[in-house]
Chains A and B, each alone.
Chain A
Amino acid sequence: MGDSYSEFLKQLEDRSRVKQERFMNHIATRLKRPRVLEKPEHPFRGAPDFWHAFTWSEEERIEHFTANFQNAGGHVIRAADMQEASILIAEQAHELEAKHIIRQDESALAELGLEKALPDASIYAWNSNAQEQWKARAAEADMGVVMADYAAAYTGSVTVLSAPNKGRSVSLLPTMLVVLIPLYRLKTRLGEILGQFDQTQTPREQLPSGIHFISGPSRSADIENDLTIGVHGPGQVLAILVG
């Protein structure tokens, strides 16, 4: 591709810019007013006011997260600390006879010491060298291990953000997904997490490319309404609440 392709993209870009101006003017004309160029006052931004006051205690958050996540077909267990979490993960891996495991390249996950606990399994840390075919490593993995960046109790969801050391594939391609949730990252409402990505909190250029909310195992009801688990994403999801 090379030069001719970038030339092609540039042509598209030039055309698009001219066109875009006409497109927006057309919208304004249809709305029977001049173009709006100043940011309009948005009096209805976000959830209704009463919702912002809604908050659960830590015990309630744990209880609701667990109930919601399990209702969606996921599993939830608690661990006092990362050490106990490490033992629980190793147990799961034994039970599943997991031969290939992939984890995000985070220090908290390195400290789990899975390599030592599971000497027979091949364990990879995402994107830890430039030669590996990382998507293929994730696709063949029996188990993917990630840290949750946030979690919301009200909907039973975990949030994972992409980064060079945190692949989107690790929470998507393996057969089973293990998510570690430090309790202090477990919020009540979805809005407490979404609000963090607003421009006042995180400027656009600092947003990760992928922000993924995961609320249980991959599912489909497309064949006669019969629930199937693990159609494309992980069919088994284990959330470990740590703390």
Chain B
Amino acid sequence: MSAAQSKPRDTVKERAELALNNAFLRKAVKYTTEKLRGGKQQAAEEHGNWEAWRERGRQIRLHTIAHLDYYLQEFAENARANGVHVHVADTGAEAVEIALAIAEQKRARSAVKSKSMVTEELHLNQALEGIGVEAIETDLGEYIIQLAGEAPSHIIIPAIHKNRQQIAELLSKDAGETLPPDTTVLAGFVRKKLREKFLEADLGITGCNFAIAESGSMVLFENEGNARMVTTVPETQITFMGMERIIPSWSDLEVMATLLPRSATGQKLTVYMSGITGPKRQEDGDGPEEMHIIIIDNGRSLQLGDPEFQELLNCIRCGACLNACPVYRHIGGHAYGGTYSGPIGAVLTPALQGNVAEWDDIANASSLCGACYEACPVKIPLHDMLVYLRRRKVEQGYSPTLERWAMKGYAAVMSSSVKLQRTLKLGKLGQKLVVRDGVIKARIGPLEGWNRYRHTPGLPEQSFRERWETLEPDIRGSLQEMDAGMKERMQQLVRSRSEGNENQGKRDSSEGESIRSDAPTAYSGKRNSDRVDREESGVNKGKGGGNHG
């Protein structure tokens, strides 16, 4: 499918329907995400002090993004000094233009690519094919879905939605002979085939997990070795780098190397972690002769200075939120209709494109349970951001007319007890038409979707409010007089709490300062107090159940 378009043709519901009807997909996604999630929890537990590492990771990312212009400039200058050709691009189209110009000048015929989400954003492969350059994805999973003409459905396991038989068929077509659905045979075929492609390719194209400002180096994490091939064998290397992928120093890389692999796959470290500092030295026997790094904005700067969304730039693309998300587990990656799927995709896609209106539907496909925040190694409050998205949609007048009227009606009824009573009376009369055995089963009007899977309870004969008159004296009668000492203590507590929230206020401001000194856009006190509470509950949970995920 042509996912990753700026305008999804259909709604998330329609896209999800496709996924929900595909039993294999649902099973595979569930199995894989649970495995990854379990691996992550185990790795985090075994490592210990996970909350302290998460907090450190968040602080480093906050600090870097708050000083992004400094670190990016430092990186660019150092990379240049290392002999790298550094380019900057405001948009994806500009970045593609630069890469195509290099490919054309070099008269390149083929390019090998290692996994890169940012090039998915740019639709680079199509652009290269357009000028006659064969672009080959070399990550096993990416190679498979490229053969199938599809887009990745998981950030770590892109071909999560394909079964062995389907893969064997795709690769058999590629091989020109029938290959058995045996993992070793299939992987062996890809190894041999891609070896040839690596050795004859003119360009090696990569993404960038982290860029180190102080030395102008770029870092790649991977398990297969294809990213090493791409940065070792072809004569020219072109690296696409989202402008937020930066960290100050190699020391900071230890924190990222601790958080990223554990959160992504539960590994202590990916099989390969490569730091590339400039093209090959003159006397070196291998490595690229020429190296380009294209730094890309493509909507990222829209988040800068936005107190609600700036933290999106902290993301290290581990996919832990996908694996933790109950919605992702059911509908799979393609239902999100963008380059990035799962909770991060639900927020990042509209944020990068700056068009809340057209992408709002995916923000509604979330249970707001906060599992994504708990899983996030740099503590991005994704579930809060989903709420902000919904709010912005309403503020900008994009909510459906019916919903707006319903909300107005609700407000009118609930603002007066008399109106509420009248409405309930009317409702009790009206529901006689549809209620059977105390429940409404008819799929009519606003109940259509709800009643498809469950029933709506009818209004009871006597409402709580009507029963209150007789209920209250009953309750009072059964209560025992409170012990005078206890009463005094409780009153004391209430008094001290209403005296301006002093303790709470103190905590807010100290937390607020640490954020503010990093992010120049001040967060409101309310938000900070939310944050503090959440952190504490997270820690407690960790102590009790040993489960941070």
Which A residues lie at the B interface, using CB under 8 A? Answer: 1, 5, 8-9, 12-13, 16, 19-20, 23-28, 30-33, 35-40, 42-48, 50, 68, 72, 126-127, 134-136, 138-139, 154-157, 162-164, 167-169, 172, 189-191, 194-199, 204-205, 207-226, 228, 230-234
The answer to whether A168 and B286 touch across the interface, beta carbons within 8 angstroms, is yes
16 A-B pairs within 8 Å (CB atoms) are namely A16-B86, A31-B521, A42-B249, A45-B60, A46-B249, A127-B283, A164-B284, A197-B215, A198-B249, A205-B81, A211-B276, A214-B272, A215-B270, A218-B225, A226-B183, A230-B191
Which B residues lie at the A interface, using CB under 8 A? Answer: 28, 31-32, 35, 49, 52-53, 55-56, 59-60, 63, 66-70, 72-74, 76, 78, 81-82, 85-88, 90, 98, 101-102, 105-106, 138-141, 144, 157-159, 163-164, 167, 183-184, 186-187, 190-191, 194-195, 199, 214-217, 223-226, 228-229, 231-233, 243, 248-255, 257-258, 267-281, 283-287, 295, 297, 301-302, 304-305, 520-521
The answer to whether B224 and A199 touch across the interface, beta carbons within 8 angstroms, is no
Closest to A205 in B: B81
Q: How many A-B residue pairs have CB under 8 A?
A: 303
The answer to whether B144 and A172 touch across the interface, beta carbons within 8 angstroms, is no
The answer to whether B199 and A199 touch across the interface, beta carbons within 8 angstroms, is no
Residues of A within 8 A of B157 (CB): 221-222, 225
The answer to whether B297 and A197 touch across the interface, beta carbons within 8 angstroms, is no
Say yes or no: A194-B284 contact (C-beta < 8 A), given A8-B105, A30-B301: no
CA A169 – CA B248 in complex, angstroms? 29
Nearest-Cβ distance from residue B463 to partner chain A, whole angstroms: 52
CA A31 – CA B286 in complex, angstroms? 42
Q: B225's contact among A13, A43, A172, A210, by CB below 8 Å, is which?
A: A172
Say yes or no: A47-B229 contact (C-beta < 8 A), given A164-B281, A211-B275, A223-B186: no
Say yes or no: A26-B301 contact (C-beta < 8 A), given A209-B280, A215-B271: yes
Q: A222's contact among B140, B232, B272, B304, by CB below 8 Å, is which?
A: B140
Say yes or no: A33-B183 contact (C-beta < 8 A), given A45-B248, A168-B228, A231-B140: no
The answer to whether A197 and B275 touch across the interface, beta carbons within 8 angstroms, is yes
Nearest-Cβ distance from residue B114 to partner chain A, whole angstroms: 10
Residues of B within 8 A of A228 (CB): 140, 183-184, 187
CA A196 – CA B254 in complex, angstroms? 12
Closest to A212 in B: B274
CA A76 – CA B371 in complex, angstroms? 39
Nearest-Cβ distance from residue A48 to partner chain B, whole angstroms: 5
Closest to B190 in A: A231
